[in-house]
Amino acid sequence: MPRPGFVLEVDRSTPPILTWHGEGFRLEKLPAGRSRVIYAPEPLEPLGDPDEEIRQALLNPLDCDPLPTLLFPGMRLTIAFDDISLPLPPMRRPDNRQRALEAVLDLAAAAGVDDVVLICALALHRRMTEAELRHAVGDRVYDAFAPSGRLLQHDAEDPNALVHLGVTDQGEDVEINKRAAESDLLVYVNINLVAMDGGHKSVATGLASYRSLRHHHNVRTMRHSRSFMDQDHSELHSSNWRMGRLIAASGVRVFQIETTLNNDAFPSQMGFLQKREWEWTARDRATYLATTRSLALAPPRTARSIFQAIKAPHSMTSVHAGEVEAVHRATTAMVYRQQLVPVEGQTDIAVFGLPHLCPYNVNSIMNPILVMCMGLGYLFNLYRGKPIVREGGVAILSHPTPWAFNPVHHPSYIDFFEEVLADTTDPVEIEKNYEERFATDEWYRHLYRTGHAYHGVHPFYMWYWGAHALEHLARVIIVAGSPRAVRRLGFSPASTLQDALEMASDVVGRDPTISHLHCPPIMIADVE
C-alpha cells in the first residue's frame, strides 16, 4: 500500500535534505523548529494489464458512443498525441501514447479505415526528431505511418494547414489544425502527468496557431491562473474550455483518451531520489556519494547526457476515454489521488531544488529562462488553494543556472535573454514592447517550421508562466547559480542556502518559516 504524501516538521535530529541542483544534488540543512519538508505520495499501484484497460476504455467510453461505432470505412480519422514535453522524465518504452495509439489503430483496422493520419500536437514547441517520435509512438506505428507521410507534426505557422473556426464570446480566435478539424473523428491521446494537462487544452492548445494561443498565453491569463493545477481557478483553463466548446460546436468530433502515470520517476539505481532521507539504506548513501562525486568531476556536457538518458519507470495508473470534459474530470481525480499532499498554511520562504529537466529542455539545455520558468512557473504553481509561500515572501531556487543555450532548440531564447531581459524583466513591459516582433520574425518562423526550434514567441510564454510568482513574491534568490545569469534574470545570486536565508531575512525577518518542496517526484501542495 503506497504511503500518502507527508509534511515533515524539521527538528534538530532531521538529516540534511536532498535538494535538486540541475544535473546534481545538494544536501541542505534546514533551520530546526521553523522549517518543513513536503514529500510526494509514493507511487500508486500500476494497472495490471494496461493494454486491456485501454481497450475497455475505448469500448466503454464516458458520455460517448463506443469507439468502434464511430469508425467506418471511407472515413477520415485523425489521431493527435502529446509531444515530447510529456512525460518527465521521458518514460521507458512502451510509452502510454504507443499503447493507446495501437489500441485505437487496432479498432480502426478492424473497421477498415484507410485514411488515417497521426499528428503530433506540438503547438509552438519544437518538432520532434525521428528517434523521439519512435520512442513516443513505438516502432510499429512509426514504420507503418511515417514513411508514407501519414505521421505529421503540427505546424502552427502553415496557413494552408490551419482553419479558423470562429471567435468565442470573449473575443478569442479559435484556429486549429485543418486536417484535425475536417476529419470525421479526431482522437486525442494524452499523457496527463499533472492536473494542468488534458481536457480541452489538448486540442485548443496542442493543435492551435499563434493567433489562437496568444489569447491565453499572456500575462493577464497567467496572473489569473491560481494555480494551473486547479482548473476551477485557472484562467488558462477557462479560456481553453471556451475554445474547446466552440471547437465542439463547430462540428469537430473529439474522442479524448487520457492516461495517468504514477510518480515512479527514477530507475532503481537512483532509488534514493524517491526516498525520504532518514530511510536511506547503506546502498542509497553509497549511491548518492558515488553519483554526486562523479557528477562533480564530470564536464557539464557529460553530466547533462547522463541525466537526459534517464528513462522513468512510470507506469500507467488509469485510462479514461470518451467525451472531453467527462474524461478530464475522471482523470483529474486520479492525478490528484497520486499527487495531492495536504499542507497547512503558508510560510515566509519556499525552497525549490530545480532538477535537470523541464518540459522544454528534453534532450537539451536548461537555459536561464527555463530555470525561471521551472522555478516560478512550474514548481511555484504546484499548489491548490494558496501558494506554499505567502504573498511578499521569498522563493529560493537551487540550480547552476549556466549562461548556456541550445542554439538549435532555443534560438529566440538567446535573443530574448541578451536583448529583452537586458532592458526589462517586467512581464507586462516585455509583452507590450517585444512579443509581436519575436512572434512574427521570419527567421524564427523558418527555424520552427523546418528545424527543431521552439517558436520565436516561446521564451515570452516562459516568462509569462512565472508572472504570477513574480507578482506574488518580494524576492527571488538562486543558490549556486552563475551570478551573471542570475542577475540578468533580475534575481539575487547566493553561494549557499545559508547565505540565501541570510539575504532573505532583509524581507522576511530573522526567523522566517520555510517550506521545502521535495520535488521531483511531482506533487501538488493542497494548501489550506
Partner 1 sequence: MIGRVFPLARPTWPGSVPRPPVRKALGLAYDTDWARSPGARAGRAAVRDLVAAPLLKVIAAPETRGLDRISHLDEPAIFAANHASHLDAPLIVSVLPARWRDELFVGGAADYFFDTRVKAATFAFLLNAVPIERQRVSRQSARVVETLLGDGWSMLIFPEGGRSPDGWGQPHTRGAAWLASRTGLPIVPVHVEGTRRILAKGSRTLRPGSTVVTFGRPLRPGAGTDARALAADLEQAIAALADELGSDWYTARRRAAAGTTPPLTGPESRGWRRAWALDERAGRRGRARDRWPR
Selected range binding partner 1 among 99-107, 172-180, 429-437, 482-490, rule: CB under 8 A: 99-107
Separation CA 482–CA 347 (nearest Å): 27
The residue among 33 and 68 lying less far from partner 1, judged by its C-beta, is: 68
Question: Taking the complex as a whole, how short is the minimal distance between the CB of residue 468 and partner 1, in angstroms?
Answer: 39
Question: Taking the complex as a whole, how short is the minimal distance between the CB of residue 317 and partner 1, in angstroms?
Answer: 13
**130 is a contact residue toward partner 1 (CB under 8 A):** no
Residue appearing with cell numbers 530511510: 279
Selected range binding partner 1 among 5-13, 94-102, 121-129, 480-488, rule: CB under 8 A: 94-102
Q: Tell me, residue by residue from 1 to 40, as one string, x for binding to partner 1 by CB under 8 A and - for no binding.
A: ----------------------------------------
**112 is a contact residue toward partner 1 (CB under 8 A):** yes
**Strand ranges, E, within 149-276:** 151-153, 162-167, 173-177, 185-192, 254-261
Q: Which of 32, 109, 333, 422 binds partner 1 (CB under 8 A)?
A: 109
φ, ψ at 78 (rounded to 5°) = -120, 135
Cβ pair 368, 413 in contact under 8 A: no
**Strand ranges, E, within 68-184:** 76-82, 115-121, 151-153, 162-167, 173-177
Cβ pair 528, 7 in contact under 8 A: no
The residue among 101 and 181 lying less far from partner 1, judged by its C-beta, is: 101
The residue among 51 and 499 lying less far from partner 1, judged by its C-beta, is: 51
The residue among 33 and 112 lying less far from partner 1, judged by its C-beta, is: 112
CA distances (Å), origin 139, targets 94, 110, 114, 143, 148: 10, 21, 20, 6, 14
Burial of 50 (0-12, 13-18, 19+ CB in 10 A): buried
Separation CA 61–CA 252 (nearest Å): 18
Q: Which of 143, 182, 429, 528 binds partner 1 (CB under 8 A)?
A: 143
Total residues in contact with partner 1, by rule CB under 8 A: 28
The residue among 4 and 112 lying less far from partner 1, judged by its C-beta, is: 112
**49 is a contact residue toward partner 1 (CB under 8 A):** yes
> CA nearest 477: which of 463, 460, 495?
495
Question: Taking the complex as a whole, how short is the minimal distance between the CB of residue 118 and partner 1, in angstroms?
Answer: 10
The residue among 51 and 325 lying less far from partner 1, judged by its C-beta, is: 51
Q: How many CB atoms lie within 10 A of CB 503?
A: 16
Q: What is the distance, to the nearest Å, from the Cα of residue 228 to the centroid of all Cα atoms in its chain?
A: 11
Q: Tell me, residue by residue from 63 to 92, as one string, x for binding to partner 1 by CB under 8 A and - for no binding.
A: -----------------------------x
**499 is a contact residue toward partner 1 (CB under 8 A):** no
C-alpha cell at 144: 507503418
Q: What residue ranges bind partner 1 (CB under 8 A)? A: 46-52, 92-94, 98, 102, 105-106, 109-112, 114, 116, 138-141, 143-145, 147
